Structure 1
Amino acid sequence: MHILFLGTSSFPFGMAEVEKQTLIGRSLQEQGCEVTFVCKKSFNYDSDLPYKGTVHDINYIYTSFLSRRHKNKIVNRILWSIGGIVEKLYLLFARYDCAIVNSRNYMEVKCYSFIIHLRKKKIFLTHVEDYRSMHPEADGKLLKRIDAFESLTWSKIDGVFPISEELRRQVISKNPSLPVFNIPVLVNPEDAMNAIDVDPINEDYFMFCGSSDYEKTIIQIIRGFEGTKGNIKLLLVLNGGKRSMENAVHLIKSSRFSDRVVLKSALPKTQLWGYYTRATALLIPLNFDQRDKARFPHKIGEYCASKGVIITSRWGEIPNFFTNKQNAVLLNSDDPLELSEAMKFVADNKEISNKMRLQAFELASGPFNFANHGASILNFMKGS
């Protein structure tokens, strides 16, 4: 079976959604499937890949004929327009059996659906975010796009892969007859074996890795860290736009323990894993809101694979996989004082922490291991 992946711009580079699509593709490869990523544009300024080739044994093609983002906005728009047209021609004439789409744009899904069904093939959608809660103040065109996606998408596809029970519930409420198959966070446990020790932090440290856009979470972590008052550091690995990164720097400098906070950004994956494996605890507190109820952070899988002690929240998808003080420490609120107590508990209880590390790794080698999902995903697609 030949499976196309659509809507995953910047492959093989990018954030969590690109990584998850890649791991789904690799899981299907292990079942004997041929996989091709079709990208109509790129957001990566530094890529030197040819527009067509193979990465990690996965075929890819950039229909814009360029794998990197051009610095000239006008040139970019021209390339992306070309990419969109050539992508549709590719779908019309290429050899494939079905497609997996990553998109929250109803008009895009509708177009894909029309062409793919015209070819009498199947189309599936990966669903990882509650679109409406991502934009609580949306109005005008954006609100119409959200309404269209949430109400109309589910009649255009042959099946959906939600990342959480909350998203599954939402889909079923819109189209009870649509085939649904949950795919949790995915990780390759072997990635931890490639961890390297570059620019080490020669003291114990707590660590958070995420987007600088999560201002509320960053504030909670800094305030929680201040409450530990111990001889330990806080490592923040943040990536994001100029404004949100500047705001993060301001938050750090405003802390009375700013000299104990280390900020890093744009780390190579192998170096990031090196920091994971040496951290006293890996932090990923959630907001107790609708958005975090529906999502399942990709970093959770990486934290588990690195045998980290995880501090997260008893919210959304988390309680379906984690039990307090068995394979993670679970928070019941977003109160920084509760986070402080959790951080001190981990630092002061080495024996319990070591047991939690091993239990977390069992998730990475079991339900989060990408290789364990290929057969069931393939059977679902064949049966839908």
Structure 2
Amino acid sequence: MQVKIFINSNPYYSSSATGNRWLTLIEGLNNLGVEVKIFIIGNYKSVEEKRKFQTNTEIDGVKLNYFNSKIVDTIWKKRYYKYISSHFNLVANKRKIYKELNGFEGIVWSENDLMLWKIIASFPNKAFKLISEMSEFLDIHHDNKGNVLQKRLGTVKQQFFEKKYINKLDGLILMTKNLINHYNSFKDVPLLFHLPMTVDLDRFKVRNTPPEEFKSPYIAFVGVMNDAKDGVNILIEAFNKISYNYPSLNLYLVGAWNYDTPSHQSRIKELNQAKRIKWMGEYSRDLIPSIISNAKLLVLPRPDSKQAQGGFPTKLGEYLATGNPVCATSVGEIPDYLEDKKSIYFAEPGSINAFAQVLSFALEEPTEAKEVGLKGKEIAEKYFNKNIQSKKLYHFLERIYYEHKK
């Protein structure tokens, strides 16, 4: 069975949740004998990426091909290529994608990108099977911060998928049961498949030393520096409440710059916590395991929102895989897998005091916290193991490829 994947960023280089999700599934399918080819329509994100990955390369049998050779490594370049240059690249990308799809009878899997959707949906007389994945509701852009253009593009993307693209699909992979229920309400839906969050447990078997700027003991948050999605503002306030009881403990915030980052930095300064609450920026995928494996606590103060209801945080799976205790909010489908004070420490979402209390509880009872962390790891091995989930995905793709007819 052959699978061709069209994607914006190289999952072997990206440290994002999306990149990690792609990589677990790609590696899992490859290990099961699926011939996987990845076509990267975006640009190189850094000089290092271009040096490390040639235009055409192969990693453990997985073939990668970059459509573009430019290096886009600043926020202004990113904006230019996203909002302006992408329109000029459309014709060239369409020609290249058509060439790859012509006569192809395997499975085509596209990232959730409007340009990709339009190109693939317009392909005449397709012989391939088309699948997609959703890990959150498409209308969450209405509630997230962003400029008018971003929100407009989000609306266009949602409308195109729901009115045109979904009916082109042979299969739709969904991360949560809430998404299954949502798309079941559509007319003429493709074959739906529930595939929970996945994690590569092997990445966390060895506890390497973290980068030298991470001084133990510390609490670590890895995710989006966004209040609406991940509740970073709540985390800052909660840590401030307990910090005086733990004078040697630091809080490290790991993630790329976001619209909320300036307000976080201002608030940290107001609290006089600049020496103990530190925004560390983004780190490579290879360094994340050492950062979170050496943390005393791992935290995810996600608010209760539509995004939380439809999605499931990939970082939570990585947290659990370390065997370290995790403090999180009881939102979405997280409580379907984890139990308070058994495999995780739950706090009421949206409450600074509640999150501060669970932080203190975990820190005051280190023996119990260790047991909770190990139980959480067992849950990750049982429900989120990439090897187990990849086998389920493989059987779904077999059904699409050999049996399911639209």
TM-score of the two chains, using structure 2 as the length reference: 0.85
User: 1:156-178 CA deviation, whole Å, 9 max, x = no partner?
Assistant: 10111111111111111114653
Distance of aligned partners of 1:153 and 1:193 in 2 relative to their CA distance in 1, 3 Å threshold: same
Query: Is 1:291 matched up with 2:295?
Result: no
Q: Kindly provide the CA deviation profile for residues 97-148 of structure 1, in whole angstroms up to 9, marking residues without a partner as x.
A: 111222153x642531453x72322111011121112333876564343233
Q: Is 2:28 the counterpart of 1:27?
A: yes
Instruction: Select 1:273's aligned residue among 289, 296, 310.
Output: 289
Distance 2:257 2:60 in 1: 26
Corresponding position of 2:257: 240
2:245 is equivalent to residue 230 of structure 1: yes
Equivalent residue number for residue 90 of structure 1: 100
Query: Which shows bigger deviation, 264-273 or 327-336?
Result: 264-273
Pairwise mapping of residues 114-125 of structure 1 onto structure 2 (< 5 A)?
114-115=122-123, 118-125=125-132
- Matched position secondary structure for 2:102: helix
Mean CA deviation greater in 1-10 or 180-189: 1-10
CA distance in 2, matches of 1:70, 1:275: 24
Matched residue, 2:59: 55
Indicate how the Cα distance of structure 1 residues 209 and 11 shifts in structure 2: closer, same or farther if over 3 A, else same.
Answer: closer
Question: Distance in 1 between the 2:183 and 2:292 partners?
Answer: 35
Aligned residues: CA RMSD:
2.6
SS of the residue aligned with 2:279?
strand
Distance 1:314 1:140, change over 3 A: closer
TM-superposed CA distance for 1:25, in Å, is 1.2
Question: Take 1:194 and 1:186, find their aligned partners in 2: how far apart are those partners?
Answer: 19
Which range is displaced more, 311-320 or 138-147? Answer: 138-147
**Residue identity in the other structure for 2:138:** Y
SS at match of 2:232: helix
Q: Counterpart in 2 of 1:69?
A: 72
Inter-partner Cα distance in structure 1 for 2:236 and 2:153: 36
- Relative to structure 1, is the Cα distance of residues 140 and 274 closer, same or farther in structure 2, using a 3 angstrom cutoff? closer
Greater Cα offset, 346-355 or 247-256: 247-256
CA contact (8 A) 1:205 1:279 kept: yes
CA apart distance, 1:343:
0.2
Runs ≥4 residues deviating over 6 A: none
Matching residue's letter, 1:187: V
* 1:1-384 to 2 correspondences below 5 Å: 1-14=1-14, 15-42=16-43, 44-46=45-47, 47-48=49-50, 49-64=53-68, 66=69, 68-69=71-72, 73=80, 77=86, 81-93=91-103, 95=104, 97-105=106-114, 108-115=116-123, 118-136=125-143, 142-175=154-187, 177-197=189-209, 198-199=211-212, 201-214=214-227, 217-228=231-242, 229-231=244-246, 232-241=249-258, 244-384=260-400
**If the length of structure 1 is used for normalisation, what is the TM-score?**
0.89
Is the 1:101–1:125 contact (alpha carbons within 8 Å) kept by the matching residues of 2? yes
Q: Distance in 2 between matches of 1:90 and 1:133?
A: 33
Q: Is the 8 A contact 1:130 1:295 kept in 2?
A: yes
- Equivalent pair of 2:7/2:42 in contact (CA under 8 Å): no
Contact 2:255 2:283 in 1 (8 A): no
* Residues 10 and 42 in structure 1, CA contact (< 8 A), matched pair in contact too: no
C-alpha distance in structure 2 between counterparts of 1:142 and 1:268, whole Å: 28
Matched AA of 2:279: L
Tell me, yes or no, if the aligned pair for 2:338 and 2:344 is still in contact at 8 Å. Answer: yes
- The answer for unaligned runs of 5 or more in structure 2 is 401-406
Query: Against the structure 1 CA distance between its residues 248 and 195, is the aligned structure 2 distance closer, same or farther, given a 3 Å change threshold?
Result: farther
Q: 1:122 to 1:102 in 2, by over 3 A?
A: same
Equivalents in 1 of 2:30, 2:293: separation in Å? 29
Query: Which deviates more from structure 2 when the two are superposed, residues 82-91 or residues 364-373?
Result: 82-91
Change (3 A) 1:89 1:50: same
Evaluate the alpha carbon distance shift between residue 212 and residue 36 of structure 1 in structure 2; reply closer, same or farther with a 3 A threshold: same
Deviation at 1:56, TM superposition (A): 4.4
Give 1:58 deviation, angstroms. 1.7
Number of residue equivalences: 379
Deviations 1:359-382 (A, max 9, x none): 111133222111112222121122
Letter of the 1:102 counterpart = E
More displaced stretch, 4-13 vs 368-377: 4-13
Q: Give the secondary-structure state (helix, strand or coil) at the position aligned to 2:205.
A: helix
Of all paired residues, the percent bearing the same amino acid is 15
